[in-house]
Amino acid sequence: MPEEVNIKKMTTQPKTYAEAGVDVEKADRFVHRLKALASRPEHARLWKVPSGYAAIYPTSDDSAVACTTDGVGTKLLVAMALDTFDTIGIDLVAMCANDLICVGAMPGAFLDYFATGRVEDLKADQIIKGIVEGCDQAGMVLAGGETAEMPDLYPGEHFDLAGFAIGTVTRKTLIDGLNVKSGDAIVGVASSGIHSNGLSLARKVIAFDDPSYKELLTPTRIYCRPAAEIFATHPGAIKGMAHITGGGWTNIGRISKAFGYQIDKPLPALPIFSRLLSHIESVSEMYHTFNMGMGLTLVCDQVDVDNILQTFARQGFEAAQVGSVVDNFKGIKITDRVLGSTAPLDIAFSNKT
Amino acid sequence: MPEEVNIKKMTTQPKTYAEAGVDVEKADRFVHRLKALASRPEHARLWKVPSGYAAIYPTSDDSAVACTTDGVGTKLLVAMALDTFDTIGIDLVAMCANDLICVGAMPGAFLDYFATGRVEDLKADQIIKGIVEGCDQAGMVLAGGETAEMPDLYPGEHFDLAGFAIGTVTRKTLIDGLNVKSGDAIVGVASSGIHSNGLSLARKVIAFDDPSYKELLTPTRIYCRPAAEIFATHPGAIKGMAHITGGGWTNIGRISKAFGYQIDKPLPALPIFSRLLSHIESVSEMYHTFNMGMGLTLVCDQVDVDNILQTFARQGFEAAQVGSVVDNFKGIKITDRVLGSTAPLDIAFSNKT
């Protein structure tokens, strides 16, 4: 087994995401160049959503199809290290489906790309079972996919997964953040753990023989059913929504960059993040990398809070008002009680738009 | 560099696709199990097309969105071996876009998944330029994508690409093969070369220092613009269409399994296939693996042949009537003149449906 794929071995422990080998700024510069290269007049046809969680392709004046693609990052390597493959497909669907709802789309169909050196039946079946379970949770059908067996590209049973999801959205259900106003409530919905981001760092600071290592594989929570219920029963009530993925809480800024997000009543802590903090450089690095117990953040009018919280609770999701939208600054201010500190923490907006 | 990624090195020369490490039957069994695992009552909502080139998700009674995903297989390794990255994106778009038109969909938007060990600016920009060029050729916008930097999953600058395309289709433009009848014409449209299938075999029988090796990277032809023109000006004229991908000419059977396809006037030979034949076990293996100079096959009424050929010619594509649909057998019968032999060749239908 070549060194590159020795997924259980740790060398020097990184303390930041950059030290773990992920250069977020360089990747952002690439995405910026990519957008310039790809720019075409036809892009004007797409519906604009500043959050950028999905591309929205119109099918009529009033309706459109939202589409998004994502992978599960190096959570794959955790699955490989633990030789457990029945949940990574849930993560794959979650990464795409939770993005769709952030623009107000009802998840519809999912396609998977599964590339591997050798299709090993038992493992492949487990991966697919996870994808199907994820689709069931999201209310989507697994409508197609591609299985590519490439023995010279992926060593042995090594593999990668990508997902593609489409959903339907109308002018009325579109979430574009334009109705967000100062005084609105910020609602947080609990994550199940680390979800599918920050794993390049986390799996290097938590050793394979650490009891917490298994927790890194806890599947990502899929927020589609409660969101879809709110879209259907209270269209427009959710003014902005952010799936907390790569970049951690900086994603909250994607809701609207015109405001400040004051978060002073965070959701209860999850032990995995306290475990991680003992290895990570700073509390700020934690909030810039991980979801910190909040997998989804939404903004609504104060009068809609109770109804939204009840819908999430009825469907088995822990949610609470975590703060308020303000207009006396732009950015995110956190009074950190998640990690046991009360020191305030300022986060500038991410350059993701 | 571990042995697995020594992409220029050849060991013993395979003579069949199976010997090249690709077990098509095993993969087909997996896809069969996958369909059983994924089956849900909601699948009944999808529009049915026996060819299976795309999943079709309805957005109204009369209109739908076709979606498909694909990769470029081990053509990636040819690009890496030649250190040439500005055309592999064209192949990626082609693999998806040519599938979309086979169900009668107008290509609309494309998303890419680009996973790599390290984003290397120059190479990444070339890859994206190719994707954008492919989208331009197909008449699509590059609407989004995911760039995943995973240093522990892909060694060094190793990478994989997956594509996802959506297009719009109506009941009137849908190509489902149901109108195909005995006596219809079979039209073939020329490929540019090997396209993006059979590379796991081809790059093992044509050595890196062989002058033909470079030809393996010739980008896949994108057939969308002439097809879209025919959809718009003569809706319904194309009764069935097959993108000739993995499985070679067995794909022709995807048009409709109720008939026989007698092909006796093939398109002019491309030299690359004669070169390949000298290393491959049999002529039959060639037709089961490669496109043999015909990248797209369509079925139309004899009266529509001239118009369809003119549209392709006007847009710079070489096309000809290559045979006829018959009802005295089911399968594909080829009088092989592509490789200089006139021995008839029978191909059973692929089990791909």
Q: DSSP secondary structure string, A301-343?
A: -GGGHHHHHHHHHHTT--EEEEEEEESSSSEEEEE--TTS---
pLDDT band at A350 (very low <50, low <70, confident <90, very high): low
Kindly report the nearest CA distance between residue A339 and chain B, in angstroms.
28
Taking CB atoms and an 8 Å limit, are B2 and A7 in contact across chains? no
Residue B246: name the closest of B283, B206, B202, B205 by CA. B202
Which is higher by pLDDT, B219 or B32? B219
At B278, which helix (H) or strand (E)? none
pLDDT band at B157 (very low <50, low <70, confident <90, very high): confident
Taking CB atoms and an 8 Å limit, are A162 and B162 in contact across chains? yes
If you measure CA to CA, which chain B residue comes closest to A77? Answer: B153
pLDDT band at A83 (very low <50, low <70, confident <90, very high): very high
Q: ipTM of the assembly? A: 0.92
The answer to whether residues A248 and A287 touch, using CB atoms and an 8 Å cutoff, is yes
Taking CB atoms and an 8 Å limit, are B21 and A63 in contact across chains? no
| The pLDDT value given to residue B310 | 98
| The pLDDT value given to residue B336 | 74
Q: State the pTM of this model.
A: 0.93
Residue B312: name the closest of B267, B262, B252, B281 by CA. B267
pLDDT at A1 over 60: no
| The pLDDT value given to residue B341 | 66
**Nearest CB neighbour to B150, from listed A65, A74, A115:** A74
The answer to whether residues B136 and A41 touch, using CB atoms and an 8 Å cutoff, is no
Taking CB atoms and an 8 Å limit, are A30 and B148 in contact across chains? no
Which residues, at least 6 apart from A189, have a Cβ–Cβ distance to it below 8 Å? A221, A223, A226, A294, A295, A296, A297, A298, A312, A317, A318, A319
Residue B123: name the closest of B76, B186, B58 by CA. B76
Q: How many CA atoms lie within 13 A of A168 on its CB side?
A: 16
Taking CB atoms and an 8 Å limit, are B40 and A2 in contact across chains? no
Q: Kindly state the average pLDDT of the residues B150-156.
A: 83
Q: How far apart are CA B29 and CA B33, in angstroms?
A: 6
Token pair listed for A243? 């799936």
Token pair listed for A271? 């032990």
The answer to whether residues B148 and B113 touch, using CB atoms and an 8 Å cutoff, is yes
Kindly report the nearest CA distance between residue B3 and chain A, in angstroms.
9
**Paired strand residues for B262:** B324, B333
| The pLDDT value given to residue B342 | 60
Q: How far apart are CA B189 and CA B243, in angstroms?
A: 10
The answer to whether residues A91 and A219 touch, using CB atoms and an 8 Å cutoff, is yes
Which residues in chain A have their CB less than 8 angstroms from residue B127's CB? none
pLDDT at A11 over 50: no
The answer to whether residues B296 and B308 touch, using CB atoms and an 8 Å cutoff, is no
| The pLDDT value given to residue B129 | 96
DSSP 8-state symbol, A172: T
Kindly report the nearest CA distance between residue B131 and chain A, in angstroms.
9
**Nearest CB neighbour to A113, from listed B57, B77, B113:** B113
Each residue's pLDDT tens digit, A257-267: 999 999 998 89
Residue A249: name the closest of A288, A299, A192, A198 by CA. A288
Taking CB atoms and an 8 Å limit, are B200 and A150 in contact across chains? yes
* Pairing outcome for strands B260-263 and B331-335: parallel
Which residues in chain A have their CB less than 8 angstroms from residue B76's CB? 153
Each residue's pLDDT tens digit, B281-319: 888 889 999 999 999 999 999 999 999 999 999 999 999
Q: How far apart are CA B115 and CA B88, in angstroms?
A: 14
Beta strands in chain A (DSSP E): 55-58, 63-71, 106-116, 141-149, 159-170, 185-190, 238-243, 260-263, 294-300, 319-326, 331-335, 344-347
| The pLDDT value given to residue B353 | 41
pLDDT at B256 over 80: yes
End-to-end CA distance of chain B: 40
Question: Which residue in B4, B6, B112 has the most chain A C-beta atoms within 10 A of its own C-beta, making it the best mutation to test that interface?
Answer: B4
Q: Kindly state the average pLDDT of the residues A34-52.
A: 91
Residue B31: name the closest of A340, A142, A331 by CA. A142
The answer to whether residues A58 and A143 touch, using CB atoms and an 8 Å cutoff, is no
The answer to whether residues A72 and A114 touch, using CB atoms and an 8 Å cutoff, is no
DSSP 8-state symbol, B47: B
| The pLDDT value given to residue B140 | 96
The answer to whether residues B231 and B106 touch, using CB atoms and an 8 Å cutoff, is yes
pLDDT at B212 over 60: yes
Each residue's pLDDT tens digit, A144-161: 999 988 888 888 778 999
The answer to whether residues A110 and A141 touch, using CB atoms and an 8 Å cutoff, is yes
| The pLDDT value given to residue B25 | 78
Share of chain A above pLDDT 70, in %: 93
Least confident of A130-134, A333-337, B345-349: B345-349
Which residues in chain A have their CB less than 8 angstroms from residue B63's CB? 59-60
Specify the 3-state DSSP secondary structure of B309: helix
Token pair listed for A344? 């305030």
Which residues in chain A have their CB less than 8 angstroms from residue B158's CB? 153
pLDDT band at B338 (very low <50, low <70, confident <90, very high): low
Which residues in chain A have their CB less than 8 angstroms from residue B168's CB? 59
Taking CB atoms and an 8 Å limit, are A67 and B155 in contact across chains? no
pLDDT at A341 over 70: no
Q: What is the amino acid identity at position B47?
A: W
Which residues in chain A have their CB less than 8 angstroms from residue B57's CB? 108-109, 143, 166
Which residues, at least 6 apart from B29, have a Cβ–Cβ distance to it below 8 Å? none
Specify the 3-state DSSP secondary structure of A199: helix
pLDDT at B7 over 50: no
Q: Kindly state the average pLDDT of the residues A234-250.
A: 95
At B224, which helix (H) or strand (E)? helix B224-233
The answer to whether residues A103 and A169 touch, using CB atoms and an 8 Å cutoff, is yes
If you measure CA to CA, which chain B residue comes closest to A144? Answer: B55
| The pLDDT value given to residue B6 | 44
Q: Kindly state the average pLDDT of the residues B316-329.
A: 97
pLDDT at B56 over 50: yes
A322 φ, ψ (degrees, to nearest 5): -105, -10
Which residues, at least 6 apart from A22, have a Cβ–Cβ distance to it below 8 Å? A200, A201, B149, B151
Number of H helices and E strands in chain B, helices first, is 9, 12
If you measure CA to CA, which chain B residue comes closest to A152? Answer: B4
Taking CB atoms and an 8 Å limit, are A141 and B59 in contact across chains? no
Taking CB atoms and an 8 Å limit, are A148 and B73 in contact across chains? yes
Taking CB atoms and an 8 Å limit, are B155 and A121 in contact across chains? no
pLDDT at B8 over 60: no
Please give the C-alpha separations between residue A313 and each of A134, A158, A316, A317, B33, in angstroms, as whole numbers.
Answer: 20, 39, 5, 5, 36
DSSP 8-state symbol, B76: H
Residue B57: name the closest of A225, A66, A133 by CA. A66
**Nearest CB neighbour to A108, from listed B57, B63, B158:** B57
Each residue's pLDDT tens digit, B269-287: 799 998 998 888 888 889 9
| The pLDDT value given to residue A3 | 34
pLDDT at A176 over 70: yes
| The pLDDT value given to residue B31 | 82
Taking CB atoms and an 8 Å limit, are B143 and A57 in contact across chains? yes
B43 φ, ψ (degrees, to nearest 5): -60, -25
Taking CB atoms and an 8 Å limit, are A46 and B7 in contact across chains? no
pLDDT at A54 over 80: yes
Least confident of A44-48, A84-88, A132-136, B93-97: A44-48
pLDDT at A22 over 80: no
The answer to whether residues A74 and B154 touch, using CB atoms and an 8 Å cutoff, is no
Question: Which residue in B119, B120, B142 has the most chain A C-beta atoms within 10 A of its own C-beta, making it the best mutation to test that interface?
Answer: B142
B179 φ, ψ (degrees, to nearest 5): -95, 0
Q: Kindly state the average pLDDT of the residues B91-107.
A: 98
If you measure CA to CA, which chain B residue comes closest to A246? Answer: B148
**Locate tokens 């055309």: which residue?**
B87
Least confident of A30-34, A174-178, B89-93, B249-253: A30-34
DSSP letter string, A90-117: HHHHHHHHHHHHTTTPEEEEEEEEEEES
Sheet holding B344-347, edge to edge: B238-243, B294-300, B185-190, B319-326, B260-263, B331-335, B344-347
Q: How far apart are CA B17 and CA B3, in angstroms?
A: 21
pLDDT at B102 over 90: yes
The answer to whether residues B317 and B189 touch, using CB atoms and an 8 Å cutoff, is yes
